[in-house]
Chains A and B, each alone.
With several copies, the nearest count.
Chain A
Amino acid sequence: MEEEGVVKKFLYVNRKAPYGSIYALESLEVVLIGAAFEQDVSMVFIDDGVYQLKKDQQTSVSSGIGMKDFSKTYRALEGYDVEKLYVDKKSMEERGLSVDELVVPVTILDDAQMGELMEQQDVVLSF
């Protein structure tokens, strides 16, 4: 699956809440498939995207809203060598969220750091 050894910086931008729409889930599916390509992957969570990582999500096909809880999959990312996960500082603050309420370890970036990260990318995927 490798493309002649080309390694690009891929950024996945997640700005949408889970369950209300499918973007969070299908974005994660791209990241997992993409991992086989051994690119330099980062994921950022901005705006309602930070809610994707909230701990204690509870729903299943047969209970609650009738959709499966896919939040545990974020924990599997490490096994795919996807370890650069960033959350937007302001988005966390507006929502009163702290990093220990999230399912995976993340790095908090302020506005300037987030802009810098984006600028360093070769490919930006947003859903």
Chain B
Amino acid sequence: MLHTVNKSPYETNSLSSCLRLARKGHTILLFENGIYGALKGTCFENVVTDALNKYQICVLMPDIEARGMRVDNVITGIKTVDYAEFVDLVASNSTVQAWL
């Protein structure tokens, strides 16, 4: 199952609810303002790093780059994807849930 999170973890509770309710082995894609949850050096880094033990976490690079970040800023273990790979993630998971 694929979960998408498009909200900043600072602004809303979407990521936190997603991390609480998704099941082990699920995949989470961070995109739009959701990419702020994928960054090193923030107050969310530990929570998200821990979540990597339970979930596969991906982040959309075009959204990372638009916001002035680069691959180097992404927490180790998070997979960077482009729109084509976003499509692949949807295709390879039987259901998609958006945490708006």
Q: For chain A residues 46-74, which have a beta carbon within 8 Å of chain B?
A: 46-48, 51, 54-59, 64-65, 67, 69, 71
| Chain A: CB-nearest residue to B1 | A119
**A51: which of B26, B36, B40, B70 is its contact (CB, 8 Å)?**
B36
List of B residues within 8 angstroms of A111 by Cβ? 20-21
In Å, the complex CA distance between A17 and B13 comes to 13
A95 touching B42, Cβ below 8 Å: yes
What chain B residues lie within 8 Å of A93 (beta carbons)? 43
Residue from the list A54, A88, A121 in contact with B95, Cβ < 8 A: A121
Q: Which chain A residues (1-55) contact chain B, with CB distance < 8 Å?
A: 11, 13, 15-21, 46-48, 51, 54-55
CA distance A121 to B94 in the complex (A): 9
CB interface residues, B 58-88, toward A, < 8 Å: 62-63, 65-70
The answer to whether the Cβ of B8 comes within 8 Å of any Cβ in the partner chain is yes
Which among B36, B41, B70 is the interface contact of A56 at CB below 8 angstroms?
B70
Question: With A48-B36, A115-B21, A126-B97 given, is the CB distance from A94 to B10 under 8 Å?
Answer: yes
- With A and B bound together, what is the CA distance between A115 and B95 in angstroms? 13
Which of B23, B26, B41, B65 meets A96, CB within 8 Å? B41
Q: Are A57 and B21 in contact, CB atoms less than 8 angstroms apart? A: no
Contact call A118/B66, Cβ cutoff below 8 A:
no
Q: A19-B32, A94-B43, A96-B42 are in contact. Are A122 and B69 (CB under 8 A)?
A: no
Q: Which residues of B contact A88 (CB under 8 A)?
A: 21
Contact of B20 with A65 in the complex, beta carbons under 8 Å: no
Tell yes or no: B91 within 8 A of A by CB. no
* Minimum C-beta distance from A81 to chain B (A): 22
B22 partner residues in chain A, CB cutoff 8 A? 115, 118
Give B65 Cβ to nearest chain A Cβ, in Å.
4
How would residues 45 to 69 of chain B score, 1 for a CB under 8 Å from any chain A CB and 0 otherwise?
Answer: 1000000000000000011011111
Closest 10 CB pairs of A and B: A96-B41, A54-B68, A20-B33, A59-B66, A115-B23, A124-B97, A57-B68, A64-B62, A56-B68, A94-B43
8 A-B pairs whose Cβ atoms sit less than 8 Å apart in the complex? A11-B97, A47-B11, A56-B69, A64-B66, A65-B66, A71-B68, A95-B41, A124-B96
